[in-house]
Structure 1
């Protein structure tokens, strides 16, 4: 028995009615979204989008990392991305815990020293959001090629508020 049998069974059920084949992989609504990995976020539904409408990049804190920028450059030039949303959220662990606290909690859970691990904690969520939006707006391979906005997603109401 595999540790993944339940998920493989669910996948077989999914595949039985799979109707997404032949998709070209482009962002049909022209949207790219950088958001947090938090499971309270349903990226497509929160924007009224469906499968195939957007490119989605998720990481802790919804940060514009070098990897996120790489994905956005590809999206803008090859995948029909015309608008970029950067969307961290309320009650995010990355904006409410300190780096030292996360290192201690992970170290305790792992049973080994985690003091060397970086977690990219955000001490000023709105300030960081503005900086992240600016990273995209001023990137030489993105710049004016896409509209960029920064939003906070409220995990308790489902509402987005624009801040950049």
Structure 2
């Protein structure tokens, strides 16, 4: 698979220094984060954690989707998660275009109609973060003793700004 040679070489180097063998899969810092797939975000380092400390759930826009909720239910009930961060970010592509504009851009690049697909454009980030935090807090399988906070990460400063 020549398209992946550079990545496989980097993986072999990584494996030479791998220290998570036998890890139990528990979130050792008791943290889960739902955030965007944007490559400017380094979820663990932004909050001072390391591999093994937290469950990281990523998707376009950092939304609390049905699948993210499933992961959070498992995290809080089986994997010792006690705190959940919902983190959107500044200059997010999902928050800088309308749903129709995103569909048109995807369709243009793909060369086929994308109007049938829901992409999840974000109209108002702060309200979206608040709604996603409430979605977690009100879930019947996530107890009230789980701390849930909503934030917007500034990709230019590295700071998390509390929203909810």
TM value normalised by structure 2: 0.98
Task: Tell me which residue corresponds to 1:61.
Answer: 61
CA separation in 1, counterparts of 2:139 and 2:158? Answer: 30
Stretches of structure 2 that go unaligned for 5 or more consecutive residues are none
Task: Tell me which residue corresponds to 2:70.
Answer: 70
Cα deviation for residue 118 of structure 1 reads 1.0
Runs of 4+ in 1 over 2 A off after TM superposition: none
Could you tell which deviates more after superposition, 98-107 or 65-74? Answer: 98-107
- Residue pairs, 1:133-152, within 5 angstroms: 133-152=133-152
Task: Tell me which residue corresponds to 2:51.
Answer: 51
Task: Tell me which residue corresponds to 1:85.
Answer: 85
SS at match of 1:88: strand
Cα deviation for residue 145 of structure 1 reads 3.6
Stretches of structure 1 that go unaligned for 5 or more consecutive residues are none
CA separation in 2, counterparts of 1:134 and 1:19? Answer: 37
Q: Is the 8 A contact 1:44 1:51 kept in 2?
A: yes
Cα RMSD between the aligned structures?
0.8
Cα deviation for residue 128 of structure 1 reads 0.8
Q: Once the two structures are superposed, what CA deviation does each residue of 1:41-98 show, in whole Å capped at 9, x if it has no partner?
A: 0000000001111000000000000000000000000000000000000010111111
SS at match of 2:161: strand
TM value normalised by structure 1: 0.98
Task: Tell me which residue corresponds to 1:3.
Answer: 3
